[in-house]
Amino acid sequence: MKVIAIGGVALSMSAVSKLRRLDKDIEIVVYEKGTVLSYGACGMPYYISDEIKDPERLVARTKEQFSDIDILVHTNHMVTEVFDERNEISVLNFETNEIIIDNYDYLIVGSGASAIVPPWKNFALENIFKLSSYEDSLAIKEKIDSGTIKKVTVVGGGFIGIEMVEAFLTRGLEVTLIEYGNQILGVFDNDMTLKLEKHLVEKGVKLHLGEKVIRFSGDTAVRKVITDKAEYETDLVLISIGVRPNTSFLENSNVILDKGAVVVNKRMQTNISNIYAGGDCGLIYNLAVKENRYIPMGNNANKQGRVIAENIAGGNFEFKGVLGTIVIKVIDMEAAKTGITEKEAKSLALDYKTVVITGKNHAGYYPNPEPITVKIIYKPVSKIIIGAELVGYKDTALRINVFAVAIQKEMTTSELGFLDLAYAPPFAGVWDVIAVAANKVK
Ligand SMILES: Cc1cc2nc3c(=O)[nH]c(=O)nc-3n(C[C@H](O)[C@H](O)[C@H](O)COP(=O)(O)OP(=O)(O)OC[C@H]3O[C@@H](n4cnc5c(N)ncnc54)[C@H](O)[C@@H]3O)c2cc1C
């Protein structure tokens, strides 16, 4: 039996590694269009900030290490088409420019996503970057290390944009952030991001909300970002306005796509039974809204890869879905969310109520207590929790995991309010902020 995986990062490499542990004899071949595989894309902002000095630290396993466990990886090879009716793919070898045809019994599609770069006028000027791949992170770091960059502009205040704002500040650069929406981190409710926006401004970020980039100007390198409201001088631009699935090679196949993302069932199978997919190139079942959504996150891809391996090896595993749990560090602050936000509840016309409280991360009498704001979204009659958001300083983010369990298990606010949460003065109040918020619901 032969398995081919497309893409060499989280989804595919977790799938093929598990598959090899389950089956010693299966033939496994991976095609990756880039030069590096199995790396932690999530660590790239911390490499650019210079907190991680050596980019190889981001690489979990090399081609040679995969070869040692009999997984044949071809880097610099891009899959150009899938012929599902005859179980074949065509692949372009970037080194020789040759097209080869390979055949499979099972195909794993783990081709991920790429940054959206609109055809803004002059977007091809030097020093305009995106951050999707390992190679992108090397290019950005090299440019900053050259010492020629003083002012940077980040276009888009989503997760990657905010992480990069912090990375650029850490490098001592002057940072302008331009966001089209009326808030940063649009997956949160606006009342929760206000504190984060204030924090960015206090840390020296020139934040411009509700502003649309129109074009760039410069001779060879970018010199200005021009929006619908103003012009900003800049030496470097990072475009981080979202990602889209890498699935163009499937367009002539019979694999069903929804707005470019691969549609899969709970076994991670596409409509073609021997083709599996997951990670950033596909949709994922959102348990909170009970439908497929596009939630491109690394932890999802790793879990889905394992489910794919179990099923190809003859098992019958289901990936139950996710709640869209997210954590992010915003300089000295932390933010997290899981389940449904208030604005999502509104757009879905759900019957809901919210409670918001601000408490402390640990006992008020213990040195340096820090504030944490907790927002719970719940059903008004049953009091079942459907969403939660946290914003604060130290010890805020990981408290979201309690809410993830509570929402997945459909707990009520009173059940959550009397959970046996840990207490000692350096770690929490005698009533943790989570319990305080839950018990505020009457
Ligand atoms: C800067 C940054 C920070 C992030 N931080 C977080 C975080 O904190 N937490 C989190 O959960 N997630 C984070 N993510 C998202 C996370 O990295 C992705 O969800 C995860 O990498 C998805 O894995 P994947 O295998 O589906 O796709 P990818 O990691 O995108 O890998 C897909 C691979 O497929 C290759 N490929 C594409 N098309 C072809 C083709 N036709 N032929 C051959 N190869 C192909 C690509 O070159 C790529 O290497 C971050 C992402 C970035 C960019």
pLDDT at 442: 87
Q: Which atom of ligand 1 is nearest to the CA of 43?
A: 3
DSSP state of 337: E
**Which tens digits make up the pLDDT trace of 53-85?**
999 999 999 999 999 999 999 999 999 999 999
Exposure of 11 by Cβ count < 10 A (0-12 exposed, 13-18 middle, 19+ buried)?
buried
Q: Compute the chain's Rg from CA coordinates.
A: 23
Q: Which of 305, 256, 308, 306 is nearest to 106 (CA)?
A: 308
Residue in this structure with the two tokens 């466990």, named with its chain if needed: 69
Q: 223 is written with which tokens? A: 């010199």
Residue nearest atom 35 of ligand 1, based on CA coordinates:
7
CA of 280 to the centre of ligand 1 (A): 6
- Return the SS3 of 347: helix
**Which tens digits make up the pLDDT trace of 268-279?**
999 999 999 999
CA–CA separation, 13 vs 23, rounded Å?
Answer: 15
Residue nearest atom 45 of ligand 1, based on CA coordinates:
7
CA distances from 346 to 306, 349, 351, 378, 382 (A): 35, 5, 8, 12, 18
CA of 113 to the centre of ligand 1 (A): 6
Percent of the chain with pLDDT over 90: 100
Angle, vertex CA 12, rays to CA 6 and CA 14, nearest 5: 165
Q: Which atom of ligand 1 is nearest to the CA of 111?
A: 34
Residue nearest atom 30 of ligand 1, based on CA coordinates:
112
The distance from CA 305 to its chain's CA centroid, rounded to whole angstroms, is 16
Task: Give the number of residues written for the chain.
Answer: 442
Catalytic positions, please?
42
CA–CA separation, 79 vs 97, rounded Å?
Answer: 13
Q: Which atom of ligand 1 is nearest to the CA of 31?
A: 43
72 φ, ψ (degrees, to nearest 5): -90, 115
Residue 146 banded pLDDT, cuts 50, 70, 90: very high
| Mean pLDDT for the stretch of residues 164-184 | 98
Give the strand order in the sheet containing 353-360: 326-330, 333-339, 385-392, 371-378, 353-360
Q: Which of 145, 150, 152 is nearest to 128 (CA)?
A: 152
Name every protein residue with a CB atom under 6 angstroms from any ligand 1 atom: 6-12, 31-34, 41-42, 44-45, 78-79, 110-113, 131-132, 160, 246, 249, 279-281, 296-299, 301
Q: Which of 297, 302, 325, 326 to mutate to test the pocket of ligand 1 (most atoms within 8 A of CB)?
A: 297
CA of 53 to the centre of ligand 1 (A): 21
Q: Which atom of ligand 1 is nearest to the CA of 37?
A: 49
**Which tens digits make up the pLDDT trace of 10-30?**
999 999 999 999 999 999 999
Q: Which of 130, 177, 123 is nearest to 152 (CA)?
A: 177
| Mean pLDDT for the stretch of residues 317-326 | 97
Residue nearest atom 38 of ligand 1, based on CA coordinates:
111
CA of 133 to the centre of ligand 1 (A): 7
Which value, to the nearest 10 degrees, does the dihedral of the CA atoms of residues 21, 23, 25, 27 take?
-80
Q: Which atom of ligand 1 is nearest to the CA of 12?
A: 25
Q: Pinpoint the alpha helices (H) of 245-321.
A: 298-312
CA of 152 to the centre of ligand 1 (A): 24
Q: Give every CB contact of residue 193 below 8 A, 6+ residues apart in sequence.
A: 183, 184, 185, 335, 391
Is the pLDDT assigned to residue 280 strictly greater than 90? yes
Q: 242 is written with which tokens? A: 């979202």
pLDDT at 398: 97
For the beta carbon of residue 151, count every other beta carbon within 10 angstroms: 16
